């Protein structure tokens, strides 16, 4: 089985990607390769941040790897929180505070269109590849659901009546931005191997 390092220690992301990949690849976390470094995400785009993380791991550990950067973009907020999604309300990566800030900023706003975007950077045999995924939807006025993570309780994908947090992992993983980007990654890996 092909071994790949996923440049993350985010347990939610790791679990989600492992479920999407369905055991086709042996996915290792940063912790599993002994990396506890805090890799600064200093780019202004999801693609840039994903490349920073993948290049860091490839250069330091010499292994095939991939990294992602994801976030929520809200039309009425000019694309914010964007690359600052995880730390929108401060450096603590507090999902509750992040959601509260978004809901406060959207109070009275009719345009609640939003999208989740993911960029994945893969470095395989020294070559870089980029894959993107996106899902459009809207921000609701109050939190709903106990599943998911991040902004999932306030985001309803187009064509749905439930938030991501009201869906099972399998339902969310079948349509999410990350699922779409990972599907492109998997298709590439299967054609490569």
Q: What is the pLDDT of residue 158?
A: 97
**What span, in angstroms and rounded, lies between the C-alpha atoms of 175 and 116?**
11
**What pairing do the DSSP bridges indicate for beta strands 26-28 and 65-74?**
unpaired
Q: What is the pLDDT of residue 192?
A: 73
Listed residue (11, 24, 10, 44) closest to 185, CA to CA:
24
Which is the catalytic residue, given 69, 94, 158, 169? 69
**What span, in angstroms and rounded, lies between the C-alpha atoms of 1 and 73?**
36
Mean pLDDT, rounded, for 137-153: 94
* pLDDT per position as a tens digit, 10-57: 888 888 888 877 777 889 999 999 999 989 889 999 999 999 999 999
**What single string gives the DSSP state of each residue in 126-166?**
TEEEEEEEEEEEEE-SS---SSS-TTGGGEEETT-SS-GGG
**What span, in angstroms and rounded, lies between the C-alpha atoms of 89 and 175?**
27
**Pairs from 172-175 (Cβ < 8 Å, separation ≥ 24):** 172/147, 172/148, 173/16, 173/19, 173/20, 175/135
In 33-88, alpha helices (H): 46-61
Record the pTM: 0.89
**Crossing angle of helices 11-21 and 177-192, rounded to 10°:** 50
With a pLDDT cut of 70, the percent of the chain lying above it is 99
**Is pLDDT at 62 greater than 70 in this prediction?**
yes
**What span, in angstroms and rounded, lies between the C-alpha atoms of 179 and 148?**
14
Mean pLDDT, rounded, for 142-156: 94
- Catalytic residue flag (residue 69): yes
**Is pLDDT at 157 greater than 70 in this prediction?**
yes
> Over 81-93, what HEC string results?
EHHHHHHCCCCCC
Listed residue (132, 23, 122) closest to 67, CA to CA:
122
Q: What is the pLDDT of residue 193?
A: 58
The DSSP letter of residue 39 is -
């Amino acid at each position: 089985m092909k071994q790949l390092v996923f440049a993350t220690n985010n347990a939610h992301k790791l679990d989600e990607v492992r479920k999407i990949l369905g055991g086709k690849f042996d996915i290792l976390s940063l912790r599993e390769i002994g990396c506890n470094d805090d890799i600064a995400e200093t780019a202004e785009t999801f693609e840039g941040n994903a490349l920073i993380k993948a290049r860091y791991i490839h250069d330091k550990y010499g292994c095939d790897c991939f990294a992602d950067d994801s976030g929520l973009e809200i039309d009425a907020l000019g694309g914010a929180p964007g690359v600052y999604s995880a730390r929108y309300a401060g450096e603590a990566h507090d999902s509750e505070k992040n959601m509260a800030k978004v809901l406060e900023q959207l109070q009275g706003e009719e345009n609640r269109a939003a999208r989740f975007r993911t960029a994945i950077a893969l470095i395989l045999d020294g070559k870089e590849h980029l894959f993107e995924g996106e899902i459009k939807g809207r921000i609701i006025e109050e939190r709903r659901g106990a599943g998911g993570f991040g902004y999932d309780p306030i985001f309803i994908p187009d064509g749905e009546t439930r938030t991501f947090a009201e869906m099972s992992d399998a339902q969310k993983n079948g349509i999410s931005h990350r699922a779409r980007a990972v599907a492109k990654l998997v298709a590439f890996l299967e054609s490569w191997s």
